């Protein structure tokens, strides 16, 4: 797969995402003594209007967003229920000791 061309807005988007990651961790530490947890759900491309628009916009910029390319990057496009289940896990007692975490729901997209 060819390298992805620079996208407009990434200069602001990337630092903003990193700031959000650090904000989650800071809130988690600051409020843990009050039994308030703070975690982040980080979805990949999800079959929702925003995710489909992102895929279409990347295609317009020349990025290969064909089914085989998506399969190589993320396996497939994610489903909204998969993100919802991750959020429900973080809201449940099953994650009572999970705090300051980033739960990537992207089928290892960001691991590449």
What is the fold of 10-111? Rossmann fold (3.40.50)
Residue 2: per-residue pLDDT: 42
What mean pLDDT, rounded, does the chain reach?
88
* Rg (alpha carbons) of the chain, rounded to whole number: 16
Check whether 11 has a pLDDT greater than 90.
no
Residue 42: per-residue pLDDT: 94
- pLDDT tens digit string along 29-83? 999 999 999 999 999 999 999 989 989 998 999 989 888 988 888 899 999 999 9
Reported as a pLDDT band with limits 50, 70 and 90, residue 3 is very low
55, 65 contact by CB (below 8 A)? yes
Give the integer Cα–Cα distance in Å for 3 and 69.
Answer: 12
For residue 45, which of 3, 79, 21 has the smallest C-alpha distance?
79
**How far from the centroid of its chain's Cα atoms is residue 80's Cα?**
12
């Amino acid at each position: 797969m060819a390298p992805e061309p620079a996208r407009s807005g990434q200069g602001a988007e990337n630092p903003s995402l990193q700031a959000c990651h650090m904000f989650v961790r800071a809130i988690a530490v600051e409020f843990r003594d009050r039994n308030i947890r703070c975690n982040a759900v980080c979805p990949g491309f999800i079959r929702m209007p925003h995710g489909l628009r992102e895929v279409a916009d990347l295609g317009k910029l020349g990025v290969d967003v064909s089914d085989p390319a998506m399969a190589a990057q993320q396996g497939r496009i994610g489903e909204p229920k998969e993100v919802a289940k991750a959020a429900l896990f973080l809201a449940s007692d099953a994650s009572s000791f999970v705090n300051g975490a980033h739960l990537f729901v992207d089928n290892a997209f960001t691991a590449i």
